[in-house]
């Protein structure tokens, strides 16, 4: 009897589709297949096989099984679980899991090698090429470089038949790690933590540990020892290291390469599609044993994943806000449970959710309370801008400028931290008061002096800065309000004309290679003053950096985000922690208009525990995370009246459930984006409520009009 294959397609479809399995195809769950959908053949994955039990339903047949690695059972289970949790179509999470499989294959590489034929005419240049090519297979360009000759010399030898051209497959991803290499020398605290993590890795089944260490305490060295232990105890074991920023990826890859003598698989948006394809296939074949990557690396087809490490686990960049919405830290714990693997969450400023799990014993809690070696935590000072304000149209206060003079005089480095890109966050007309916004969007246009353009960081829209106000027509009336990193850089260059000044933000560092170059320049002392956003505020070691100046410490406290205080504390603790990480003492100055704020007081006293206790108490009273659950519904549409009517209908359809409160609908803070009006619901639930099931039931009760889009965000981190 023929079988029915349920095939999940990587599309926003609510379920898998049934197809007939052709006779003799011999499909298995996880196989990648080509299946017809309308007039097209689409890649899909078999998620279920069952015997056909008769009936009069005529099914289309699977066209063919693809010559591609199947998705392992645990990966398939994880993809489907993630979709249920996120209240989204399973095809959406499958699309992430198949991203590498759908990438183009790398083209064959053209190389040259000696044929044994002697050149008709010997010259010094040709002799160099023959010596460099002996026993090697290199590209023509690499051979010319190795011999120190022009490419024409190599081409001439090819034309004579002395060298032959071959096409070989692109280099395979991921060399085998050398587990005989020694690790870093650990201090007693690090060694104790590494020993406990090794014991956890040895235990059968799923475990989670929080590696909680102050900035500069050497958490990376500790978790790399746990990775080495996991790889050594099982020759097939695989390790995944998740990082929040591409800029951090390069530094960690360098440390992994040094520790294991082989470069790990690299997985993030900056990796070219053919290289991504090679990593995906190597992971699926079990050849790639260490992967370092961004949040989507969690969906790779690991065959024997034994250890997951989430570095900077508190970081908001682990939250995917568009498309398939998920938080990589939370899903990493779930993937660990499915794989029966160990999970290490590492941070100097853990999230309250993770700390709560550690306090209640759900996670093991390992603390590194001192910096590695002779380094000490920096002294933190609050600069009250009400008492010592900057000069007019300046942003650096007299105390910070004086500290910078002193630092430069000692030949040391300064980091000026401002988590705001561009030159100025707002451009307005001094004649009519018009604020420049992107078309059909509430978002302000940010001025960028480097490019001479006004840019919307929400939609990507940009335009040249106009000479006249588009609203009233007044000439030369547009003024820049507030500072971005470019404006702070301009001020630093004016104040310190002899200093070498650079900017580190996503506008000036476009890819992982450029980030690596800038980080290396800073580490080698080639930069005196680095003006940076959060891209440089975490995970980096700069030996000569002894002063951190936070230009606007109050920035993150504005707005109605329930995590505003927690995020501000985390970000500023990470930023100030860049100072004094070697044998030179460090200092951090925080410019603030609210030095009495609990966050500022905790930072100055370096008393994280007191801040966490107060924040936990407030959250518990309000039954907010980690003592409750949240979900958001965001609906958008081009017609305000139609959207309002749909939201009223949705409000009436909300299921009644004990322990669940629904707030809204209300206009989103960004109520207009790309011409679409936006409204939100916020749902609060007690910890014992299956919030995903509640949201799924609610969504099933309403059918939005074609023009209205509805997104559900379980455990939201953005409230815009």
Q: Which of 15-29, 61-75, 539-553 has the lowest mean pLDDT?
A: 539-553
CA pair distance 270, 282, nearest whole angstrom: 18
Angle between helices 73-86 and 691-700 (to 10 degrees): 70
**Measured between alpha carbons, how far is residue 451 from residues 463, 475, 669, 702 in Å?**
10, 21, 29, 46
Q: Mean of the pLDDT values across residues 249-269?
A: 90
Using a 10 angstrom Cβ sphere, with 0-12 exposed, 13-18 middle and 19 or more buried, the burial of residue 598 is middle
What are the percentages of helix, strand and coil residues in the chain, rounded to 5? Answer: 35, 25, 40
Average pLDDT score over residue span 548-569: 87
Pairwise CA distance, residues 343 & 365, whole Å: 12
Cα 667 to Cα 459, 471, 558, 676, 702, distances in angstroms: 19, 26, 19, 12, 20
What is residue 523's predicted lDDT score, i.e. its pLDDT? 86
**Structure token pair of residue 63:** 């066209």
Rounded to whole angstroms, how far apart are CA atoms 155 and 163? 9
pLDDT of residue 70: 95
**Region at 473 (left for phi over 0; alpha for psi -120 to 50; beta for the rest):** left
pLDDT at residue 580 above 80? Answer: no
At 581 the pLDDT is 67
The pLDDT, as a whole number, for residue 174 is 84
**CA nearest to 77, candidates 42, 44, 29:** 29
**What's the whole-number mean pLDDT along residues 74-82?**
97
Question: Which pLDDT score, from 0 to 100, does residue 374 have?
Answer: 57
Which pLDDT does position 16 carry in this prediction?
Answer: 95
Q: Residue 620: enclosing H or E segment and its boundaries? A: helix 608-622
Tokens of 714: 């379980």
Question: Measured between alpha carbons, how far is 525 from 413 in angstroms, rounded to an integer?
Answer: 8
Task: Tell me which H or E stretch contains 193.
Answer: helix 188-202
pLDDT of residue 31: 97
Q: How far apart are CA 144 and CA 142, in angstroms?
A: 5
pLDDT at 522 over 70: yes
% the chain with pLDDT above 70: 97
Task: Tell me the average pLDDT across 453-460.
Answer: 88
Look at residue 508 and tell me whether its pLDDT is greater than 80.
no
User: At residue 440, does pLDDT exceed 90?
Assistant: no
Which is nearest to 214 in space by CA: 190, 244, 180? Answer: 190
- In 3D space, the residue among 315, 237, 249, 320 whose CA is nearest the CA of residue 283 turns out to be 237
CB 400 within 8 A of CB 607: no
What is the rounded (10 degree) CA torsion for 160, 162, 166, 170?
A: -120
Note the pTM of the prediction, 2 decimals.
0.87
**Residue whose C-alpha is closest to residue 212's, from 347, 317, 335:** 347
Q: In this predicted structure, what is the pLDDT of residue 517?
A: 85
pLDDT of residue 55: 61
Sign of CA dihedral 509, 513, 519, 523: negative
DSSP 391: P
The stretch 237-244 carries a mean pLDDT of: 96
Average pLDDT over residues 627-649: 96
Query: Are the beta carbons of 179 and 234 closer than 8 angstroms?
Result: no
DSSP class of 138? B
- Which positions ≥6 away from 322 have C-beta within 8 Å? none
- Kindly provide the residue ranges of all beta strands, DSSP E only, lying in 551-624, ordered along the sequence: 587-592
Q: In percent, how much of the chain has pLDDT > 90?
A: 69
Encode 28-67: b = buried (16+ Cβ within 10 Å), e = exposed.
Answer: eebbbbebeeeeeebbbbbbeeeeeeeeeeeeeebeebee
CB 270 within 8 A of CB 253: no
Answer yes or no: are the C-beta atoms of 585 and 378 closer than 8 Å.
yes
Whether the Cβ atoms of residue 481 and residue 430 lie closer than 8 Å to each other: no
How confident is the model over 589-597, as a mean pLDDT? 94
Average pLDDT score over the chain: 91
What confidence tens digit (pLDDT) does each residue in 142-192 have? Answer: 899 889 999 899 999 999 998 999 887 766 668 899 999 998 899 999 999
Sheet containing strand 676-686, strands side by side: 660-673, 676-686, 628-637, 709-714
Q: Stretch 493-509: mean pLDDT, rounded?
A: 89
Asked if residues 471 and 429 have their Cβ atoms less than 8 Å apart, the reply is yes
What is the sign, positive or negative, of the torsion defined by CA atoms of 348, 354, 359, 362?
A: negative
Q: What pLDDT is stored for residue 137 in this prediction? A: 84
Statement: residue 1 has pLDDT above 60: no
Q: Residue 375: its pLDDT value, please?
A: 63
Q: How confident is the model at residue 25 (pLDDT cuts 50, 70, 90)?
A: very high
pLDDT mean over 14-21: 93
How much is the average pLDDT of 7-25? 93
Average pLDDT on 388-402 reads: 94
| The pLDDT of residue 270 | 84
240-250 mean pLDDT: 85
Answer yes or no: are the C-beta atoms of 659 and 685 closer than 8 Å: yes
Q: Is 390 left (phi over 0), alpha (psi -120 to 50) or beta?
A: beta
Crossing angle for the helix pair 140-147 and 124-133, to the nearest 10 degrees: 120
Other CB atoms closer than 10 Å to residue 301's CB: what's the count?
Answer: 25
Query: H-type helices in 304-382, by residue range?
Result: 328-339, 352-359
Tokens 């208009």, located at residue: 593
From residue 720, give the alpha-carbon distance in Å to each of 58, 385, 666, 675, 678. Answer: 48, 29, 11, 16, 10
Going through 303-385 in order, the beta strands assigned E by DSSP cover 305-311, 319-320, 326-327, 342-347, 364-368, 379-384
Tens digits of per-residue pLDDT, 212-231?
998 888 899 999 999 999 99
Tell me which of 186-195, 267-276, 301-310 is least confident: 267-276
Residue 36 has pLDDT above 60, yes or no: yes
Q: Does 268 sit behind a cis peptide bond, omega within 30 degrees of 0 on the bond before it?
A: no
pLDDT value at 463 more than 70: yes
Nearest one of 394, 437, 443 to 552, comparing CA atoms? 394
**Residue 215 pLDDT:** 82
Angle between helices 352-359 and 608-622 (to 10 degrees): 90
Instruction: Spell out the residues 6+ positions from residue 382 whose beta carbon is closer than 8 angstroms to its own.
Output: 589, 590, 592, 595, 600, 603, 604
pLDDT at 171: 64
Give the pLDDT of residue 511: 73
How many other C-beta atoms lie within 10 A of the C-beta of residue 487?
24
């Amino acid at each position: 009897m023929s079988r029915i294959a349920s095939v999940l397609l990587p599309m926003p479809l609510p379920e898998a589709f049934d197809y007939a399995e052709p006779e003799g195809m011999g499909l298995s769950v996880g196989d990648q297949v080509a299946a017809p959908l309308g007039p097209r053949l689409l890649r899909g994955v078999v998620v279920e096989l069952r015997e056909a039990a008769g009936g009069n339903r005529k099914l289309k047949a699977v066209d063919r099984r693809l010559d591609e690695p199947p998705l392992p059972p645990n990966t398939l289970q994880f993809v489907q679980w993630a979709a249920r949790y996120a209240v989204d179509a399973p095809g959406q999470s499958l699309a992430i899991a198949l991203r590498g499989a759908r990438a183009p294959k790398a083209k064959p590489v053209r190389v040259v090698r000696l044929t044994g034929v002697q050149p008709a005419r010997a010259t010094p240049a040709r002799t160099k090429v023959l010596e460099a090519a002996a026993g090697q297979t290199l590209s023509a360009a690499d051979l010319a470089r190795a011999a120190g000759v022009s490419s024409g010399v190599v081409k001439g030898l090819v034309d004579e038949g002395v060298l032959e051209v071959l096409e070989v497959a692109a280099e395979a991803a991921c060399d085998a790690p050398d587990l005989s290499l020694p690790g870093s020398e650990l201090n007693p605290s690090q060694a104790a933590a590494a020993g406990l993590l090794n014991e956890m890795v040895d235990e059968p089944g799923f475990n989670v540990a929080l590696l909680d260490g102050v900035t500069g305490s050497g958490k990376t060295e500790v978790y790399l020892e746990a990775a080495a232990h996991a790889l050594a105890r099982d020759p097939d074991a695989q390790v995944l290291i998740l990082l929040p920023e591409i800029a951090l990826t390069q530094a960690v890859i360098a440390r992994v390469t040094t520790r294991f003598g082989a470069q790990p698989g690299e997985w993030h948006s900056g990796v070219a599609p053919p290289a991504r394809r090679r990593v995906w296939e190597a992971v699926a074949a079990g050849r790639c044993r260490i992967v370092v990557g961004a949040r989507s690396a969690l969906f790779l087809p690991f065959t024997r994943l034994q250890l997951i490490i989430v570095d900077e686990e508190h970081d908001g960049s682990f939250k995917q806000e568009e498309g398939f919405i998920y938080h990589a830290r939370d899903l990493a714990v779930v993937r660990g449970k499915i794989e029966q693997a160990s999970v290490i969450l590492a941070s100097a400023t853990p999230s309250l959710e993770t700390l709560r799990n550690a306090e209640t014993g759900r996670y093991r809690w390992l603390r590194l309370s001192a910096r590695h070696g002779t380094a000490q935590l920096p002294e933190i000072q609050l600069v009250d801008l009400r008492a010592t304000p900057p000069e007019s149209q300046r942003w650096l206060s007299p105390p910070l400028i004086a500290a910078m003079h002193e630092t430069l005089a000692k030949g040391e480095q300064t980091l000026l931290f401002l988590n705001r890109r561009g030159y100025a966050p707002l451009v307005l007309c001094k004649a009519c008061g018009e604020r420049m916004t992107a078309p059909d969007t509430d978002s302000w246009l940010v001025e960028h002096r480097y490019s001479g353009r006004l840019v919307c960081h929400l939609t990507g829209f940009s335009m040249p800065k106009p000479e006249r106000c588009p609203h009233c027509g007044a000439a030369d009336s547009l003024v820049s309000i507030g500072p971005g990193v470019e404006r702070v850089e301009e001020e630093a260059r004016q104040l310190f004309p002899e200093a070498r000044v650079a900017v580190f933000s996503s506008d000036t560092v476009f890819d992982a290679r450029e980030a690596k170059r800038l980080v290396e320049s800073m580490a080698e002392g080639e930069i005196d003053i680095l003006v940076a956003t959060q891209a440089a505020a975490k995970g980096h070691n700069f030996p000569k950096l002894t002063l951190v100046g936070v230009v606007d410490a109050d920035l993150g406290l504005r707005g109605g985000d329930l995590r505003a205080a927690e995020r501000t504390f985390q970000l500023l603790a990470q930023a100030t922690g860049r100072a004094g990480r070697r044998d030179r003492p460090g200092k951090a100055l925080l410019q603030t208009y609210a030095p009495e704020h609990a966050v500022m007081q905790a930072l100055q006293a370096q008393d994280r525990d007191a801040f966490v206790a107060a924040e936990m108490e407030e959250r518990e009273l309000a039954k907010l995370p980690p003592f409750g659950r949240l979900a958001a519904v965001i609906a958008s549409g081009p017609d305000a009246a139609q959207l309002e009517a749909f939201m009223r209908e949705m409000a009436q359809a909300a299921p009644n459930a004990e322990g669940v409160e629904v707030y809204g609908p209300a206009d989103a803070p960004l109520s207009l984006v790309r011409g679409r009006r936006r409204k939100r619901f916020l749902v609060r639930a007690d910890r014992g409520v299956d919030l995903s099931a509640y949201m799924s039931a609610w969504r099933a009760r309403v059918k939005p009009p074609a023009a209205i889009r509805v997104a559900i965000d379980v455990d939201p981190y953005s409230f815009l």
